[in-house]
Structure 1
Amino acid sequence: MGARSRLRIDAVLIQAVIAGALSFAHLHDLAAAAGQDGWKAWAYPVSVDLLLVAAWRRLRAEGPSRLAWCWFLVALVASLGANIATAGFLDLADPPAPLRLGIAGWPALAFLGGTLLAHSATGREPMMPATATDAVAVEDTVDTGPVPPADVVPVPVPDDEASAPPVQPSPVPPVPAALVNHARKVADEYRDRTGSPIDTDTLRSRLGVPPHLAAAIASHLA
């Protein structure tokens, strides 16, 4: 079982080395064809692969993000484009002007991408450790008991209000004599039937009058 695991890992590593070497060579050949000779042609594949690895590490470490995916796709397109361009689709003896322009502008683009990946904020706020002040604040917020309502607290009365005469109850509103007579008949009928005097609510429901008028009629019947 251990031999199979080591064999599988070795096969994957060998495949990765072969793919990386071929891609590296294609990028070198494309840069050399675009006029970047000497060490500059070898620096291009290193720059592309480093940007690809940096974006992938950002994705693995911090999860998906637009910034990391953007620069990962840029490096991947540059690598795949070199593989396709060197497969006979372009005349490397006379490369087109857009290819020369892209190769010439790649260093600035790769520098921008690497800088943003290395120094941009991740958008995640670090968790601050709890301090003694935070503990005190939490203790202060603990409920220490019911708080008496505001209306229970005695309010001082000003002198002018204390010396004011008491409010007199409003006088009984006038009631028509005919309504009083009709209410008396209803009250007498209720007493004969139940043996007890009629109450104000029953009188109000029998007469169909507002509560204050029923109370005034009941005062006339008393």
Structure 2
Amino acid sequence: MRAHLARVDAVLVQALIAAALSFAHIHDIAMAAGQDGWKAWAYPISVDLLLVAAWRRLRTGTAKAAAWCWFVIALTASLGANVATAGLLDMTDVPAWLRILVAGWPAVAFLGGTLLAHSAPKTATDEKGTELIDGQGHEPEAPSDPPAQPATESTSLASPIPVPVALVDHARKVAAEHHTRTGAPIDTPTLRTRLGVPAPLAEAIAAQL
């Protein structure tokens, strides 16, 4: 247990030293590039926040490429400040390109932080939901139909044929005349012949007589 705590303490101390030195170096670069006062202190905070956001996305998210891109950008800014303040750069005569980079860093950091914080990664729930939606497109096959019913039964289930009222009235007159003349009700074939209509229509008329 003590050995574990010793390793944790050592790592924590190293992290604090690295963060403090990097923080100071970025502040010095910002000061040398013309960003004085509170603005010089805001630059190292911005770099560290972008590093933390990128590292968190690497650990918890799925958009690894974007997270690695912004992590490398923030790490380059931090390491670049450390190297530049190691005597390789004249802090009293900062080149124009470095001033441009320092001036443009806030916009770059804001863009990176926004993309990392507000681009929702695809979660396992989304994937399951997509699979569920995809599965709905494959409906199970319907069971085989029962044996076909006789044609007469299907014909009887069909919707009735509409018959004009005038045609029914005329058919009644024909049926009455046939009954008076023969003494028997008129049958469907005779009614069809007298009216000159198709068989289905004659059956529909006879059903209404």
Normalising by structure 1, report the TM-score.
0.58
Counterparts in 2 of 1:54-65, with a 5 A limit?
54-63=53-62, 65=64
Quote the Cα distance in structure 2 between the aligned partners of 1:27 and 1:155.
91
* Displacement of 1:141: 3.3
Q: Is 2:65 the partner of 1:66?
A: yes
Quote the Cα distance in structure 2 between the aligned partners of 1:154 and 1:3.
87
Partner of 1:122: 121
Q: Structure 1 residues 154, 52: closer, same or farther in 2, change over 3 A?
A: same
Partner of 1:188: none
Identity percentage of aligned residues:
61
Quote the Cα distance in structure 1 between the aligned partners of 2:63 and 2:8.
27
The unaligned stretches of length 5 or more in structure 1 are 132-136, 157-222
* Displacement of 1:63: 3.9
* Displacement of 1:143: 6.7
Partner of 1:32: 31
* Displacement of 1:14: 0.4
Q: Structure 1 residues 36, 144: closer, same or farther in 2, change over 3 A?
A: same
Using the TM superposition, name which of 56-65 and 71-80 deviates more: 56-65
RMSD: 3.4
Normalising by structure 2, report the TM-score.
0.62
* Displacement of 1:69: 1.1
Partner of 1:17: 16
Partner of 2:105: 106
The unaligned stretches of length 5 or more in structure 2 are 152-209
* Displacement of 1:127: 3.9
Quote the Cα distance in structure 2 between the aligned partners of 1:5 and 1:123.
36
Return structure 1 stretches of 4+ with deviation > 6 angstroms. none
Partner of 1:3: 2
Quote the Cα distance in structure 2 between the aligned partners of 1:49 and 1:122.
22
Larger helix fraction of residues: 2
How many residue pairs end up in the alignment?
148
